[in-house]
Each structure stands twice: as C-alpha cells, then as structure tokens.
C-alpha cells in the first residue's frame, strides 16, 4: 500500500465531518479493526475510487469500556443484529460495529480471541483482511494468498451464514476473475445436493442481503452448472 490506510480513510471522510468525528471518538474508546470489504477495496485498487458500501469494524474493548461503547453508539440512529452487533448510519454511511470478542468464531470457541485470528475467522479467503486503525497495522495474509493463487478458498468452514457466503463467492469470482478451490467447489456440490433449487435460493438471497440484483438468475445458474460439470 502506498500510504497509511488511516490517512486514506480520513481523506475519504473529509467531506463527512460528523462521520469523521464518530470514528475519532470510537477510536478513543477502543481499538478499531476495520474488516472485510472496506479494507479489501483499498488493497485491490490501492486507492478508494468510491465510498465503500459499508464499513465493518470490530472494536477491541477493555471490560470497563464496554458500557461506554454501547452508550456512545446508542446516541446515534442504530439497529442491532442477531449476533449483537450494531448497524449505525451517519451521513448516509453505514457502519457495522461489534465487540471484537463477540466475533462468532471467538464466541463459539472455534479460534482463540487474538487480533491476528480475525482474518482466520472468515469463511471465504477473499474476506481475510483486517486493519488495526489505532496501531496502523494490516493483517492481509489470507487475501494475499487468494490473489496470488487466483483462487477463492475456504478459511474457517464453520459459519452461521454459509449460503450467503456461497452467494458472495459467486459475485467475487465474477468481479475479480478468480477461480474456486477444490474445497469450495465441494461445498457448493454439498449444498446443491441438500437444496432442491439452490440456484433460486442463491438468486433470491441477494435481495434480502444487498436489496438489489448483483447477479441475474441466469448468471447464477451458469455458475452453478459450471461447478457441477467441471
């Protein structure tokens, strides 16, 4: 990366003073680990061409800071998800926030609660990137391997949102022109066997998650057929 990602985030938010203040204040409460798409976008293009769809941030908190974090976030317009995280919208920018130690893989004892394990908690290797905003430290080994091998792989097989991740993998495959690993292809085959019309299931899932069409029904069908007959 050509410059500090922290400075790039601040440049991106330069016309959003309330959002910038929110990030500053949040970083004083705990350490911010920017995670997934908002960091991947910068990694891939070495710049922010557009505002990310949202920012996923895991916050490392001392026990004494947890209530302070909750009270601060709840000063804003927010909703809570089924995993206990917050969705906050400020100046039309979405933030998905959660207590670092409540990351699903940590709570379920799939991994030890270590900062470097956040990138190992993902289902898809293309999501394996995190950035400690406070320390200016990047964890990107899973994502680097993905682009080096030109292949999306499974990192942590246990995941509560497997179908959504399999949909996302189709989208990323098209966007970045990547292949699927043997293990990931096998996971599609298992899911196809368990679901009568898996093409339709994945096609419809994008509307509940993205609220728009990222892949046409035919594109989903072709992708699934290619996996089945490869």
Per-residue pLDDT reduced to its tens digit, 26-63: 999 999 999 988 899 888 888 888 888 899 999 999 99
The SS3 assignment for 78 reads strand
Question: Cα separation of 105 and 86, whole Å?
Answer: 18
Give the model's pLDDT for residue 53: 84
45 vs 91, higher pLDDT: 91
pLDDT in tens, 164-197: 999 999 999 999 999 999 999 999 999 999 998 9
Task: Specify the DSSP element, H or E, that contains 60.
Answer: strand 55-60
Q: What is the mean pLDDT of the chain?
A: 94
On the CB side of 165, CA atoms within 13 Å amount to 26
- The pLDDT of 15-29, averaged and rounded, is 96
Strand order in the sheet with 93-99: 78-80, 86-90, 93-99, 55-60, 31-35, 130-132, 137-139
Is the predicted pLDDT of residue 90 greater than 60, yes or no?
Answer: yes
Cα–Cα dist 91/129, whole Å: 26
Whether the pLDDT of residue 1 is over 80: the answer is no
| pLDDT tens figures, 112-157 | 999 999 999 999 999 999 999 999 999 999 999 999 999 999 999 9
Q: In the structure encoding, which two tokens stand for residue 173, read together? A: 């495959």
| Residue 13: strand pairing partners | none
Tell me the C-alpha distance between 33 and 135, whole Å: 10
Residue 81's pLDDT band, with cuts at 50, 70 and 90, is confident
In 3D space, the residue among 57, 183, 181, 42 whose CA is nearest the CA of residue 118 turns out to be 57
Residue 3 is predicted with a pLDDT of 55
How far is Cα 129 from Cα 151, in angstroms, rounded to an integer?
Answer: 15
């Amino acid at each position: 990366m050509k410059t500090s990602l922290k400075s790039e985030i601040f440049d991106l938010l330069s016309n959003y003073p309330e959002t910038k203040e929110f990030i500053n204040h949040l970083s004083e409460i705990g350490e911010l680990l920017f995670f997934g798409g908002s960091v991947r976008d910068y990694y891939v293009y070495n710049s922010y061409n557009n505002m990310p769809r949202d920012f996923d941030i895991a916050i490392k908190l001392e026990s004494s800071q947890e209530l302070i974090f909750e009270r601060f976030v709840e000063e804003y317009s927010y909703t809570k998800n089924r995993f206990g995280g917050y969705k906050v919208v400020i100046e039309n920018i979405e933030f998905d926030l959660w207590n670092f130690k409540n990351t699903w893989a940590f709570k379920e004892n799939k991994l030890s609660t270590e900062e470097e394990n956040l990138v190992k908690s993902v289902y898809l290797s293309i999501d394996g990137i995190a950035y400690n905003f406070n320390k200016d430290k990047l964890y990107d080994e899973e994502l680097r391997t993905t682009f080096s091998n030109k292949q999306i792989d499974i990192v942590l097989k246990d995941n509560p949102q497997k179908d959504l991740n399999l949909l996302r993998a189709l989208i990323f495959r098209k966007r970045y022109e990547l292949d699927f690993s043997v293990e990931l292809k096998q996971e599609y085959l298992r899911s196809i066997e368990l679901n009568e019309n898996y093409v339709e299931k994945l096609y419809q899932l994008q509307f509940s998650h993205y609220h728009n069409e990222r892949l046409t029904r035919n594109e989903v069908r072709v992708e699934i057929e290619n996996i089945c007959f490869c």
